[in-house]
Every structure is written in C-alpha cells, then in structure tokens.
Amino acid sequence: MAFDKKKLKAAMKKKGVSQARLAELLGKGERTVARWLSSKSRLKQDQIESICEVLAIAPEEIDEDWKGEVESSRKVAVGARITTSSSNGYYLLKQRYGVTQTQLIELAPLMFAILAKLALQRPEQRLVELHHAYEQADKPFSPMIDNYEQERLAAEIKVAATQDIFEPVPDPMIDISDLDQSDMPNLLCLLLRHLAEGTGIDLPREWGVGSRCPNSQGIDFDRMAISELTMGDDALNASIINGDVKLDQMDQHLELSELADERIVWLREKAEAANELRRLEKEKRRKEREAWLRANPKEAKKAAKERAEREERIKSLFKKLGIER
C-alpha cells in the first residue's frame, strides 16, 4: 500500500476540511484522527476507505496502489453516471442520517429486492382490503367508484402476474386510443407514491410517468435540510431539487452556520451558471429546429398535424373526466 498522507492533507485543504472537522465527519475523537495523520501511523484499508468516503474522493487519489488492494479483497469498485438530483440526495441523506454513498450503494440491492416484492404483492393485498371494506361498510360505496377501483386493481394484478414491476399499468377510464400506455405509472411508481404519503417527501404528479425506470430528478429528499442550506430561499431550494446545483462540489467548511452568507453566494453563482447554460442549450435547439423545418417542409407539416391531433385527443379525455386543464 502506497498511502500518501501529503496527498491526503492536500485533499483536505482543497475541500476546506480541517483535522477537527474530519474527526467530526468520521465520528472519531480529534486525538484519534491526529494519530491517523501522523507520519508514524500506518492506516488500515477500512480506515482509508472511511476517510475517502467522508471527503468524497477516490482512494486512488491518495494511494497509487489502491487498485490492487480492492481487487484482492471481496470488494469491487463501481462507477455510474447518475442525475445531479440523485447526487444531491446522497449528500442530504449523509447530512441527515450520517450514511455514506458507499453504504447506500451497498444496501441498494437489498432495498430494491424488498420494494420489488412489495410492488408485486400490493395489488392482491389491496383487493382483499377493498372487499373487507365493502363488508364492513355501513352503507354501500358508489358503484362507479367500486367498479373503477376493482378494474384498476384487476389491471395491477394482471401486470403483477408478469413479474415486471416496470410494466405500465393501464387506467380503466382511459382508452388506449386516447393516451399511450407509456404515459401510465408502473407498479414500482405506484408503491413508492404510497410509501411516500405522509413522509413529507412530495413526488411530482408526473414523476415516473413515461420512463421505464424512474429517477430522482426533481425529488425533494429533505425540505428542512435544503432550506437550512439556502436559508429558506425558494429559488435556491428549486435549484438544488432540480439538480442545477451540485452540493458535493461545495467546500465542506461552507456548511458551517457562521458562513451562511458565503454559502448563499456560492449557491447562487452555481444556480445562475446552470440557468445560463440551459438558456444557451435551449437557444441552440431552437435554431436547429428552425433549420430542420426549413429543410423539411413536408415532414414539418405532418408533425404539426400529428401534434394538433394528439392535443385534441388529450383535451377530449380531460373533458370526459371532468378535469379543467
């Protein structure tokens, strides 16, 4: 192992983490961390891993031989591109519960296995509960509600029988010609919506619709923690939730309450930069679209007609359901 403590101290300085702050993040005493960082101490692999986790750096940055160490143990290095919203979720969960990204990744298969089983079992359980409620009711429910609920559950049970938790569940009140099935939620989305009720975690109405596997884009993981970071600034709250600001890039010393003004300045700079980049990208797409329309007039006319027809079908559907749009 070629652990370089000079590189570690340089990484700490870059992140704005003092020795005392590192001890706090690790849940260790300052004297223990001071001993770890001394030139005479030789750190174990799990100690290096813990330090790297709280500093959000790769072990390879401070240990040139780290790759061999990982391969020789019962561990593997994983890498994945995730949304900034999800990355912010890792940050907020660590702030609230002290759980690291590595620990969450380690638990992910177990948590997903439990959710998948619950998603497949819930339709049958709800059907039993519905029939029990009918039997216990003092007065009969509305036939329309009864029929809709039973048809809805029948559709969920049919999908559950395929063991595909990502299969869209068709709505019995919506004809397939009115709206594409890909615009329907799947069993996993329905379960997560149910579990989120009453937790303060609001899932947007459109969340999980139109994509096979939902992501964390636009999810408010912890409103209180976000508001504490932004001092209650709604615009900055939205920037964090939408992933315009990458919290893991913020120097850890900016988390201190006495540096709130400096933190707000940093957050606003990042949010404004993201807004400007989005504006430029939108302008670029607009110009590309206009160029395509000029070069392909027939296809453009056909696309406009199809778009108008689809909009009319959606309007008709909302009118049928008595929903103002």
Domain ranges, ordered by start, for the chain: 5-77, 82-292
pLDDT at 175 over 80: no
Q: Which residue has the tokens 């990204």?
A: 101
48-to-32, 40, 91, 165, 173 alpha-carbon distances in Å: 14, 15, 20, 39, 57
Residue type, 161: A
User: Buried b vs exposed e over 151-183: b needs ≥16 C-beta within 10 Å?
Assistant: ebbebbbebbeeeebbbbbbbeeeeeebbeeee
8-to-19, 71, 124 alpha-carbon distances in Å: 11, 22, 54
Phi and psi torsions of 175, nearest 5°: -75, 145
For Cα atoms 257, 262, 268, give the angle at the middle one, nearest 5 degrees. Answer: 115
CATH of region 5-77: 1.10.260.40
pLDDT tens per residue, range 275-291: 999 899 999 999 998 89
pTM for this one? 0.68
Answer yes or no: are the C-beta atoms of 274 and 84 closer than 8 Å. Answer: no
**How far does the chain reach from its first CA to its final CA, in angstroms?**
63
What average pLDDT does the segment 155-160 reach? 91
Residue type, 112: F
Structure tokens at 106: 């380690």
CA distance 237 to 267: 10
CA distance 185 to 209: 5
Helices (H) and strands (E) in the chain, counts: 13, 0
Percent of the chain with pLDDT over 70: 87
CA distance 311 to 219: 28
pLDDT at 182 over 50: yes
- Counting Cβ atoms within 10 Å, is residue 150 exposed (0-12), middle (13-18) or buried (19+)? middle
pLDDT tens per residue, range 38-71: 877 788 888 888 888 888 888 888 877 676 455 5
pLDDT reported for residue 101? 85
Higher pLDDT among residues 235 and 63, named by residue? 235
Q: Per-residue confidence at 177, pLDDT binned at 50, 70, 90?
A: very low
Most confident region among 145-154, 190-199, 205-214, 316-325 by mean pLDDT: 190-199
The candidate with the shortest Cα–Cα distance to 37, out of 23, 55, 53, is 23
pLDDT at 272 over 60: yes
Sequence-separated (6 or more) residues with CB below 8 Å from residue 165: 116, 119, 120, 186, 187, 188
CA distance 147 to 128: 15
